[in-house]
Structure 1
Amino acid sequence: MSADVVSLLGQIREVGRDPRGPGYQRPGFSPIERELREWFEAEAAARGLDVEVDANGITWAWATQPGPNAVVTGSHLDSVPGGGQFDGPLGVASALDALDRLRADGRLERAARPLALAVFPEEEGSRFGVACLGSRLISGAIAPERALGLADAEGDTFAEVAAAYGLDPHRMGPDPERLAGIGSFIELHVEQGVGLIETGQPVALGASIIGHGRWRLRFTGQGNHAGTTPMAHRADPVAAGSAVIGEIPRLAAGFDRAVATVGRTSIHPGGTNVIASAMDCWLDIRHADDAVVAQVLQAIVDRARDIAGAAGVGFGASRESYSPTTVFDAELTDRMAAQLPQAPRLPTGAGHDAGILAAHVPSAMLFVRNPTGVSHAPEEACEDADARAGAAALADVLAAELGA
């Protein structure tokens, strides 16, 4: 058998490591992500897989002849700023390992359905602000015109970046024919929480993804001189925006199990001795009940308007993305449970490409135990034995889907 999941991850352990400290910087559609994609393509080619990159930047590697009712597995390779090494790459490396296992024991030869591995770009949304951009484009969950107009922190549009990446922006968008050819999509991912820690099991079945959305809150004021403008004469968007951010934990705590986070802000023009003229902050809200998400948002927006009005500052909110609560395909999940009878079923508060595709193709997930329970941070972890158990579990459920 070729390199297993642990050694495969070891091959890319230094790629995108943050030179400023612990964690990784692997932005979507960046030179680092290109290096990771080329690694995957080389590993796929070494296994004799036919590799293609579609119009939306999704990489497909066919282990068999392409055909209808295909079984597809995979994940992503990009990361959040300062993220861990397993979020995304564990699923990609496990897919390669699972393929090797299927070949080694002859199960792939007996497959009655096609098998493909897939790598989705810009899953985290850390560069252009919209998560699962590749799967949203292929499924029509985002209009290509809107996606192409998104800009990163440097002001480069997605259209410009995609073209430099070798893609044709005019060809990006829904691909119903390709989606119609997928009979099952199974994504393996490191667990991004503590659900598995107390179960004594290394692998869980995904039950659902709770509803989550991202909004941009914009505060606008009067730019001015920091040394000559009296405090009483200021319309400072940073002061107002910061006050709102400080209120968000209290407001979210008023709704059972709701979570709300501001993890990114932008101040214009950003001078030390300048009262800013604008401040943007990005708000993330999640809850299993979509109606509660709307209620949390309304509570925050109402408070923000009050604070901004009292400070003489303008305020506006715009939605950047939203994914309603997704329950994975029951029949597919039940078939997986038959292969993994000890695996518990867990919901997750983290978004995934499988959640986007679930509206169009039968989709399911496997989670692999994370002993720290920490994710989107350097402390994210996965024991070698658990990683191997996850790859073996993936091979078993793929074999069952393939009819092998």
Structure 2
Amino acid sequence: MPDDFERMWAELAPIGRSAGSGGYFRQPFTAAEQELRAWFDEQAAARDLRVEEDPFGNAVAWWEPGPGGLSRLLVGSHLDSVLDGGAYDGPLGVVSSFAALDRLRARGVVPTRPVGVAAFVEEEGSRFGLACLGSRLATGATTWAVARELRDRDGTAFGDVVAGGVSDLLDGVGCYVELHVEQGRDLVDRGRAIGVASRIWPHGRYRVDIAGTANHAGTTRMEDRRDPMLTYAMTALAANKQARVTGQRATFGRLETSPNSTNSVPSAVTAWLDVRAETDAHLADLVATITRQAEERAERDGTTLTVTAESVSGATEFDADLAARIAADHAEGDWPVIATQAGHDAGILSARGFPSAMLFVRNPTGVSHSPAEHAEVADCLAGVDALAETIERLAT
């Protein structure tokens, strides 16, 4: 008998969890993430679902009770995490998908089209630096020629850990629905457990390289320095100020220095800037303003600055008719339709022409990408029921 939601969740809880912080380290193709993938295969086998995998590590477990011939419905999410992340971002959608199929089977519901549970790989970009890498490759949004050259922090190339090639995993898919923990407080403020996505804000990741001159921290006069750390510090402050005054988002979350010595003026600083905005124009304007202020500071500091866009995803507008169909006419009233500032595989599929939708489960803390990420069991179970109802609407 397949495990119910709470039993499945308990099985996943210790996998990849840090004893110190309580956060999760489930980076792609590491022992923890591979253990999760083995669990995925076990859950599929327990339900007699057929598992397909593409050359990049994406997997789908198919429920095919009918004669076939109709377009396929895909649900699911991802199993990887950010560094020191929360338990819910990603796995909640996969666990809820299996549990939703159990709900439907228990009620005797038989879909007239195949229904698949997806687990996309490297959604977070935490190892190879490109968010939603698995779904980008599965949809053709990113080519294998580009992806295979991506490298992790240890220098391992993506092409060294997967076979690569061409994916046909999404052939015949007519719709994708992703359930996800909300990464914010919109549902908390509304007092609602379930929401439906309307759109995803544009999102860009930029590498900022600042070069100066290494020197002795004690013997080098302040006025004689070409210190890239000063340029970086001003750039981080500028990003914060410009995002605040425009109502957008700008974050420096990763920093590397060389030679990384306590008693040296650094020769180089590399930092990564994450920017999200309401529209594509807002995104471009914010990045341009931050870059201009950084270049002006670099000129004063005697440093050089280069900004490189590593990935930029435009605004995603989910299918409005599909969202309305999913959100309307429930026992507790229509589910709210809300925007999200976080990127998701559903956004990649939508941008590539697959009608897509998202369900959000309330997060009482509003915190995500952190060990404090949370969802109450009652809300998770409401999410399972919501996904089961959505599957029934779309697949029967």
TM-score (norm 1): 0.93
Name the SS for the 1:358 alignment partner: helix
What does residue range 358-397 of structure 1 map to in structure 2 within 5 Å? 358-359=350-351, 360-397=353-390
Larger mean CA deviation between 339-348 and 282-291 belongs to 339-348
Larger mean CA deviation between 56-65 and 268-277 belongs to 268-277
Amino acid corresponding to residue 378 of structure 1 in structure 2: P
Q: Distance in 2 between matches of 1:11 and 1:159?
A: 31
* 1:306 alignment partner in structure 2: 296
* 1:198 alignment partner in structure 2: 189
* 1:224 alignment partner in structure 2: 215
* 1:238 alignment partner in structure 2: 229
Contact 2:323–2:337 (Cα < 8 Å) also in 1: no
Contact 1:4–1:388 (Cα < 8 Å) also in 2: no
* 2:201 alignment partner in structure 1: 210
Pairwise CA distance, 1:180: 4.1
Amino acid corresponding to residue 52 of structure 2 in structure 1: E
Q: Distance in 2 between matches of 1:260 and 1:266?
A: 18
* 1:355 alignment partner in structure 2: 347
Name the SS for the 1:300 alignment partner: helix
Pairwise CA distance, 1:178: 4.1
Matched, 1:261 2:251: yes
* 1:252 alignment partner in structure 2: 243
Pairwise CA distance, 1:254: 2.7
Q: Distance in 1 between matches of 2:169 and 2:15?
A: 31
Q: Deviations over 1:240-288 (max 9, x none)?
A: 2122112211122231x21111111111232223332211111111112
Matched, 1:185 2:176: yes
What does residue range 22-61 of structure 1 map to in structure 2 within 5 Å? 22-61=22-61
Q: Distance in 1 between matches of 2:147 and 2:226?
A: 33
After the TM superposition, which segments of 4 or more aligned residues of structure 1 sit over 4 Å from their partners? 65-68
For 2:163, which of 150, 162, 168 is the aligned residue? Answer: 168
Pairwise CA distance, 1:2: 3.4
Name the SS for the 1:197 alignment partner: helix
Pairwise CA distance, 1:68: 4.8
For 1:103, which of 95, 102, 105 is the aligned residue? Answer: 105
- The verdict on how the C-alpha distance between 1:316 and 1:362 changes in structure 2, with shifts beyond 3 A counting, is same
* 2:127 alignment partner in structure 1: 127
Q: Deviations over 1:327-380 (max 9, x none)?
A: 111232222123544311111001100000002211000000111111111111
Q: Distance in 2 between matches of 1:75 and 1:390?
A: 14
Instruction: Give the CA RMSD over aligned residues.
Output: 1.6
Amino acid corresponding to residue 272 of structure 1 in structure 2: T
Q: Deviations over 1:141-193 (max 9, x none)?
A: 22322222111111222112x2xxxx313x15xx4x54341111000000011
Contact 1:204–1:344 (Cα < 8 Å) also in 2: yes
* 2:326 alignment partner in structure 1: 336
Amino acid corresponding to residue 99 of structure 1 in structure 2: L
Q: Distance in 1 between matches of 2:95 and 2:369?
A: 19
Contact 1:5–1:90 (Cα < 8 Å) also in 2: no
* 2:316 alignment partner in structure 1: 326
Q: Distance in 2 between matches of 1:326 and 1:254?
A: 24
Contact 2:226–2:301 (Cα < 8 Å) also in 1: yes
The answer for unaligned runs of 5 or more in structure 2 is none
Q: Distance in 2 between matches of 1:214 and 1:62?
A: 34
Name the SS for the 1:179 alignment partner: coil
Contact 2:54–2:169 (Cα < 8 Å) also in 1: no
Name the SS for the 1:382 alignment partner: coil
* 2:6 alignment partner in structure 1: 6
Pairwise CA distance, 1:27: 1.3
Contact 1:206–1:348 (Cα < 8 Å) also in 2: yes
